[in-house]
């Protein structure tokens, strides 16, 4: 897979239905997302699936369910760690595509050298 042209990777991601895939990503990130697509198919709309996908995209993530931190039922917290830039708006679009429809995101913590865009304060976003 690592030796395939970028156009083939993009076509494969489209064929596999990877909603959160971005054409402008580097080769390494594209390959990681494609390789996790098969496992993710079985775990779609679960916290484990969200963790696998966000780790493939950004390099590190943690998902805390409501019962882990004493929150309201069906709520979750998210922490994303990246060595590069993170676009918060894109991150939230990816989370919305990955999470269960009835799940509610309480907070997001972003650990990155720079954050490109910041969404409104209606959700609890912080970066470190």
Res 120: pLDDT: 41
d(C-alpha 49, C-alpha 102), whole Å:
15
Closest CA to 108 of 62, 69, 59: 62
For residues 105 and 66, the answer to whether their CB atoms sit within 8 Å is no
Cβ partners under 8 Å of residue 60, min gap 6: 80, 81, 82, 111
Residues of the chain with pLDDT under 70: 114-128
pTM of the model: 0.76
Res 20: pLDDT: 83
Which residue has tokens 């959700």?
A: 123
Q: Which DSSP symbol is given to 102?
A: T
Using CA of residue 32, residue 33, residue 38, residue 44, what is the dihedral sign? positive
């Amino acid at each position: 897979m690592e030796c395939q042209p970028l156009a083939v990777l993009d076509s494969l991601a489209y064929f596999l239905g990877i909603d959160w895939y971005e054409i402008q990503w580097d080769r390494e990130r594209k390959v990681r997302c494609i390789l996790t697509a098969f496992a993710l198919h079985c775990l779609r709309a679960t916290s484990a699936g969200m963790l696998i996908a966000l780790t493939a995209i950004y390099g590190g993530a943690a998902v805390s369910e409501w019962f882990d931190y004493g929150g309201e039922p069906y709520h979750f917290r998210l922490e994303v760690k990246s060595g590069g830039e993170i676009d918060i708006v894109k991150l939230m679009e990816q989370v919305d595509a990955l999470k269960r429809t009835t799940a509610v995101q309480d907070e997001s913590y972003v650990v990155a050298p720079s954050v490109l865009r910041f969404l409104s304060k209606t959700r609890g976003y912080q970066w470190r």
